Structure 1
Amino acid sequence: MGEPTLSIHALPGVPLIAPGDDLGPVILAALGAGGLVLRDGDIIVLAQKIVSKAEGRAVPLSGVRPSFAAQDLATRCDKDARLVELILSETDRVMRVRRGVLIVRHRLGFVLANAGIDQSNVDHGGEPVALLLPLDPDASAAAIRDALVKASGADVAVVIIDSFGRAWRNGTCGVAIGCAGMAGLLDLRGTPDLYGRELATSELGLADEVAAAASLAMGQAAEGAPIVLLRGVAYGRREGKAAELIRPLEMDLFP
C-alpha cells in the first residue's frame, strides 16, 4: 500500500460572483474547466467572500447611519463610523479597542478583527461597500454540499473559510467558518499513539487544518482562486459543523 497523498487543486475560471448566484453550478463548471470530477471523500473549500457575495451580504456604506456609540468607538479606533456601525451590528461583545484595531466577539462566536467585515476584493462601484460574513455559514455549507451531492452523486464535504489573526501570533491564517459533510472538530481521545499509549486530550481542529491547506492555494490578494478541491484528506466521516470549533465561554481561559 502506497503512502497517503494529499492533492490541492485551485479551480480555474471562477467568474466574479454576484448576489443571487447559485454556487453549485459555479463549482461544477470550475471542476469541469480543470478536468476534474468529484469523488467520494473530496472536500470543496470556498472563500467566504464568494459565499457572502452570492448571499447579498454587501452593504453600501452610504446607506448606513452610525449611532452615537459607533461614532465614539470610531474616534477611538480611527475607523469610518459607518463601518463601525456595521461591525457593532454583527457583534456580541467588543473585546479590545486600539487605534486601527477593533477586536470583537462575533454573533456566531468567532473572536476576530472588525467582525470579519472586509472591503478588499469587493467591487465598490464608485462608493464604499463592506462585505459581511454569511448569516449562517454552516447552513450555507450544508446547502452547497446538498447541491453538489445531488448533481454528482459523490459524497463530498464543503468548508467555507476566512482569514483570521490569532492570539499571540503575527499574520493571518485560513480558518473554517462553515462546514458540512465532515467533522469540524475530530475527537482522537481514546485512540492509541505510535507506542500504543491511549490519547487522553487530543482533539484535532480538522476543518481549520483543511482551511489552512486550501488557503495556500487560494492566496490572500489578487489571485482570483476562491474555490479549492482537496483530495486525499483522511478524516472521520460524519455530519459536522464549524461551530464545533468554537470554545464555549465557560471554558474560555482568557475571557
Structure 2
Amino acid sequence: MNRLEVLSPDGVPEVRAGDDLVDLFLTAIDGEVEVADGDVVVVTSKVVSKAEGRVRSGDRDGALAAETARVVARRGPTTIVRTRHGFTMAAAGIDASNVELGSIVLLPLDPDASARALRATLRERTGRNVGVIVTDTAGRAWREGQTDMAVGAAGLLVAEEYAGRTDPHGNPLAVTAPAVADEIAGAAELAQGKLAGRPFALVRGRADLVLPAGEDGPGAVALVRAEGGDLFGFGAREAVVRALAGDPADRRPFGAPASADELADALRLVTGADVRLEDGGLRVAVPHSGAWPGAVAALAFAHGWVVGDNQDPNVAHLLPPGP
C-alpha cells in the first residue's frame, strides 16, 4: 500500500516584507508534526513574493508590461502572456487577491532561487533533508478551472522519466514524463485552500523524489518548454495576425521550420497554387495575383520559410531557413 499525506497548518499571520518564512512555517507546525527527511515543503508564491518585497501599489494593467516577455493571446479583459520566467499565464501571474485593497503581488523574481534558499534554511534549522516547491495558480488551455503548479523547486526531481521503460503488458513508453512537482503542488493546494490563510503544506510519502543534501536539482524551470517548443506559441487569432505582420522576432514562437511537403500542402490549400520543389526550395505559381504576395508570404513565415528574390508577380520562390 502506498500512502501520501498532505498537512497544511492554520494560524499563519499576514506575511510582510522581510518576514522569515521558515520561522513562520516551523512555528505553525510546532506541536502538530515534525519535519522528516524526505518530506516536501510547499509554499505559495504569494507569501514568497510578500516576504521578498514584491507587493506594489496599483492594478494589474499598470504592472503587466514590465512582467511580460510577449503577449500570447488576448480575449476581452484577459491577457495571456509569456513571463520573463518562461511561464505562460494570465496577467503574468500578477495577483490582486489576498492582499490589501489597491495593491498587487508580482511573482518572485527567481522562484527557483527562492526555493533553494528556503531549503537551505530548513536544513540549517531542522537538520532534515527536504524538497521545497514554490507554487502558483494557473489555468489550462483546454480545461475549465485552475490548478496549482510548481513555479520554483529545490532538492526535488520535478519530473519522472519513463521513456525507455515498458508497461506491465510489455508496451514501450516513449514520452511519458509525469510532472511530479506540479502534481505535488496540486495536491498541496487541496489542503491549503484559497481563502483559509494556509500558505504552507508538508507533503509526506514521496521521499524517493527528494534529492540528497547539497543537490538542488534543475528547479521548476526544467518544466518550462523552450520558446517555440510548444505547438501554440500564439493564440489562434494572434497567430494569424503575427503571421501577416511577419515580424522577424516572432519566428521562434512559431516553432521549428516545417518540411517542404507540409508547406506545399498548405500553399495548395489556401492559394490553389502550383507548387514544385526546385533547387532546394519551392516554386509557387499562384493562379490569381491577388493571393500573392500576402497569403504566400504569411504562410511561408508561419512555416519558418523565407521568400526569395522574385521578378514575376505570379511566381514566388520560397527558401528554407539558413543554418
TM-score of the superposed pair, with normalisation by structure 1: 0.85
Q: Are 1:145 and 2:119 matched, yes or no?
A: yes
- Counterpart in 2 of 1:245? 223
Superposed, 1:167-178 pairs within 5 Å as 167-178=141-152
- Counterpart in 1 of 2:204? 231
Give the conservation status (yes or no) of the 8 Å contact 2:57–2:103. Answer: yes
Q: Give me the whole-angstrom Cα distance separating, in 2, the residues matched to 1:42 and 1:142.
A: 15
SS in 1 for 2:203: strand
Q: Are 1:59 and 2:56 matched, yes or no?
A: yes
- Counterpart in 2 of 1:90? 67
Q: CA deviation at 1:234?
A: 5.2
Q: CA deviation at 1:237?
A: 3.6
Give the conservation status (yes or no) of the 8 Å contact 2:81–2:88. Answer: yes
Superposed, 1:137-216 pairs within 5 Å as 137-216=111-190
- Counterpart in 1 of 2:259? none
- Counterpart in 2 of 1:101? 78
Give the conservation status (yes or no) of the 8 Å contact 1:141–1:158. Answer: yes
SS in 1 for 2:121: helix
Q: Give me the whole-angstrom Cα distance separating, in 2, the residues matched to 1:29 and 1:120.
A: 25
Q: CA deviation at 1:54?
A: 0.3
Identity %: 41
User: 4+ residue runs of structure 1 moved beyond 6 angstroms?
Assistant: none
Q: CA deviation at 1:102?
A: 0.9
Q: Give me the whole-angstrom Cα distance separating, in 1, the residues matched to 2:167 and 2:209.
A: 17
Give, as a single letter, the amino acid of the residue that structure 2 aligns with 1:116.
Answer: G
Give the conservation status (yes or no) of the 8 Å contact 2:39–2:207. Answer: no
Q: Give me the whole-angstrom Cα distance separating, in 2, the residues matched to 1:214 and 1:19.
A: 24
Give, as a single letter, the amino acid of the residue that structure 2 aligns with 1:52.
Answer: S
Q: Which has the higher contact order (CA 8 A, sep 6+)?
A: 1
Aligned CA RMSD, in angstroms, stands at 1.4
Q: Give me the whole-angstrom Cα distance separating, in 2, the residues matched to 1:249 and 1:135.
A: 19
Superposed, 1:214-225 pairs within 5 Å as 214-220=188-194, 222-225=195-198
Which of the numbers 21, 26, 29 marks the counterpart of 2:19? 21
Q: Give me the whole-angstrom Cα distance separating, in 1, the residues matched to 2:170 and 2:218.
A: 28
Q: Give me the whole-angstrom Cα distance separating, in 2, the residues matched to 1:6 and 1:112.
A: 29
Give the conservation status (yes or no) of the 8 Å contact 1:182–1:235. Answer: no
Q: Are 1:49 and 2:83 matched, yes or no?
A: no
Q: CA deviation at 1:142?
A: 0.5
Larger displacement relative to structure 2 (51-60 or 96-105): 96-105
Q: Give me the whole-angstrom Cα distance separating, in 2, the residues matched to 1:45 and 1:25.
A: 14
Q: 1:237 to 1:192 in 2, by over 3 A?
A: farther
SS in 1 for 2:209: coil
Q: CA deviation at 1:48?
A: 1.2
Q: 1:236 to 1:192 in 2, by over 3 A?
A: farther
Structure exhibiting the larger radius of gyration computed from Cα positions = 2
Q: Give me the whole-angstrom Cα distance separating, in 2, the residues matched to 1:235 and 1:60.
A: 42
Give the conservation status (yes or no) of the 8 Å contact 2:60–2:95. Answer: no
Q: Give me the whole-angstrom Cα distance separating, in 2, the residues matched to 1:38 and 1:193.
A: 35
Name structure 2 gaps, 5 residues minimum.
212-216, 234-323
Q: Give me the whole-angstrom Cα distance separating, in 2, the residues matched to 1:251 and 1:131.
A: 29
Q: Give me the whole-angstrom Cα distance separating, in 1, the residues matched to 2:168 and 2:197.
A: 41
Give the conservation status (yes or no) of the 8 Å contact 1:184–1:243. Answer: no
Q: CA deviation at 1:185?
A: 2.1
Give, as a single letter, the amino acid of the residue that structure 1 aligns with 2:200.
Answer: I
Larger displacement relative to structure 2 (177-186 or 231-240): 231-240
